[in-house]
């Protein structure tokens, strides 16, 4: 039997904060308990949002907390040839096409956004219009040319080990979606599918804001004939008192901030342990103790609210 493999995949668009730290920790604890191999992948292809030095700082912070992983660390920006090859396969199969639509074009052509997140389903404006990227560029001078993958009506099932069975009709939630952006960089969906398949990643633990992304990635894996599909665990996010995803608007929730105030790894782990349902109230814990205490089935099914009491605990006040 082959070894189960998972990955931690931080994106260096800013500092590591308590919300994504909780998800990384849950992933790591589950891996330790089940003897999975843990890989580290830096997802640094988000263009201008990438912050200089952020990747190194994130890895140092995770190591400070007690997480370990196999070497070498994979960096997406070093893997452009692999992504270009995957795009070429999609194009050759007739599954992807060039698109010159702007976000404004899509908003104007779409009847309504998906759910409450302001995402509009692409109406297929450019599907079948251009035979090549060169033709698209020639007919729309000054407009960047992206590549979209075709989707068809019908639900794609996501058999999630934590969130339960979910199904998404991509033709309704997003429409034909971008796999290569206009600036010549692979989109998140394509890059992670290529990386996970090549590394043999077959267990993925992450936030439940990416549940619909799982359906997109399953769709891409099938088009690229990459199997088997990984097992998924999508966990609820950490939010602020307003119910929105933890961010700058909720104050400074960076791990680095609390380290500067004197928080120790055991104190941080103690708070995260409560957020993961391992203990009832914060107390200092070691990583080895948490590995023995953590139970994925005890993780709360609702969003975790970062409170003033949590802040006080981390400050040691």
> Quick one: pLDDT at residue 248?
74
Residue 73: partners with Cβ closer than 8 Å, 6 or more residues away: 40, 41, 42, 59
Cα torsion angle, 111, 46, 214, 130, sign: positive
Task: Judge if pTM exceeds 0.85.
Answer: yes
For residue 158, list its beta bridge partners.
166
pLDDT of residue 13: 83
Distance between CA atoms of residues 62 and 103, nearest Å: 36
**Residue 206 belongs to a domain:** no
Q: Has residue 231 been placed in a domain? A: no
Confidence band for 115, pLDDT divided at 50, 70 and 90: very low
Could you give the residue ranges of the DSSP H alpha helices within 93-234? 103-109, 133-139, 170-173, 188-199, 211-223
DSSP-assigned beta bridge partners for residue 238: 304
Which DSSP category does 211 fall into?
H
- Based on the domain organization, do 128 and 179 belong to the same domain? yes
Q: Are residues 46 and 137 in the same domain?
A: no
Same domain, 66 and 109: no
Looking at residue 107, its pLDDT comes to 82
Residues 267 and 299 in one domain: yes
User: Does residue 226 lie in a domain region?
Assistant: no
For the domain that residue 151 is a member of, what is the CATH number? 3.90.800.10
Least confident interval from 44-48, 66-70, 187-191, 309-313: 44-48
Q: Which of 191, 214, 247 lies at the terminal end of a domain, its last residue?
A: 191
Q: What is the mean pLDDT of residues 132-145?
A: 93
For residue 217, is it within any domain? no
Residue 306: which CATH number?
3.40.50.620
Specify the residue for token string 């109406």: 123
Q: What is the pLDDT of residue 267?
A: 97
pLDDT of 7 reads 98
- If DSSP codes are grouped into helix, strand and coil, which group holds residue 203? strand
**What tens digit of pLDDT does each residue of 5-41 get?**
999 999 998 778 999 999 999 999 999 999 999 999 9
The structural domain count of the chain equals 2
Whether residues 130 and 39 fall in one domain: no
| 89 — pLDDT class (breaks 50, 70, 90) | very high
- In a domain, residue 181? The reply is yes
Q: What rounded mean pLDDT belongs to the chain?
A: 93
In a domain, residue 114? The reply is: yes
64 lies in some domain: yes
Task: Indicate whether 115 and 176 sit together in one domain.
Answer: yes
Range of 149's domain? 80-191
Q: What is the mean pLDDT of residues 64-90?
A: 97
- Per-residue pLDDT tens digits for 212-256: 999 999 999 999 999 889 999 999 999 998 888 887 777 789 999
Mean pLDDT of 42-62: 88
Domain assignment of residue 223, yes or no = no
Phi-psi category of 113—alpha, beta or left, where left has phi over 0 and alpha has psi -120 to 50? beta
- Residue among 201, 162, 193, 259 at smallest CA distance from 40: 201
């Amino acid at each position: 039997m082959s070894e189960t493999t998972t990955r931690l995949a931080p994106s260096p668009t800013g500092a590591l904060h308590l919300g994504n730290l909780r998800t990384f920790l849950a992933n790591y604890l589950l891996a330790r308990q089940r003897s999975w191999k843990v890989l580290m992948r830096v997802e640094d292809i988000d263009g201008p949002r990438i912050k200089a030095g952020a990747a190194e700082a994130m890895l140092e912070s995770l190591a400070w907390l007690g997480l370990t992983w196999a070497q070498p660390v994979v960096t997406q920006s070093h893997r452009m040839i692999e992504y270009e090859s995957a795009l070429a396969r999609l194009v050759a199969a007739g599954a992807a096409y060039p698109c010159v639509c702007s976000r404004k074009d899509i908003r104007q052509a779409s009847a309504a956004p998906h759910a409450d997140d302001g995402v509009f389903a692409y109406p297929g404006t450019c599907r079948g219009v251009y035979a090549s990227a060169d033709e698209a560029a020639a007919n729309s001078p000054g407009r960047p040319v992206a590549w979209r993958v075709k989707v068809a009506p019908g639900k794609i099932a996501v058999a999630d080990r934590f969130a339960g069975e979910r199904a998404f009709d991509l033709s309704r939630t997003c429409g034909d979606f971008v796999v290569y952006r206009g600036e010549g960089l692979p989109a998140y969906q394509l890059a992670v599918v290529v990386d996970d398949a090549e590394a043999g990643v077959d267990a993925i633990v992450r936030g439940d804001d990416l549940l619909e992304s799982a359906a997109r990635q399953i769709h891409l894996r099938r088009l690229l004939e990459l199997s088997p599909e990984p097992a998924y665990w999508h966990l609820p996010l950490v939010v602020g008192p307003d119910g929105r995803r933890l961010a700058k608007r909720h104050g400074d929730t960076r791990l680095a901030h609390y380290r500067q105030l004197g928080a120790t790894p055991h104190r941080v782990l103690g708070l995260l342990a409560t957020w993961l349902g391992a203990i009832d109230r914060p107390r200092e814990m070691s990583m080895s103790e948490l590995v023995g205490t953590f139970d994925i089935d005890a993780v709360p099914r609702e969003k975790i609210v970062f409170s003033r009491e949590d802040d006080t605990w981390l400050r040691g006040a």
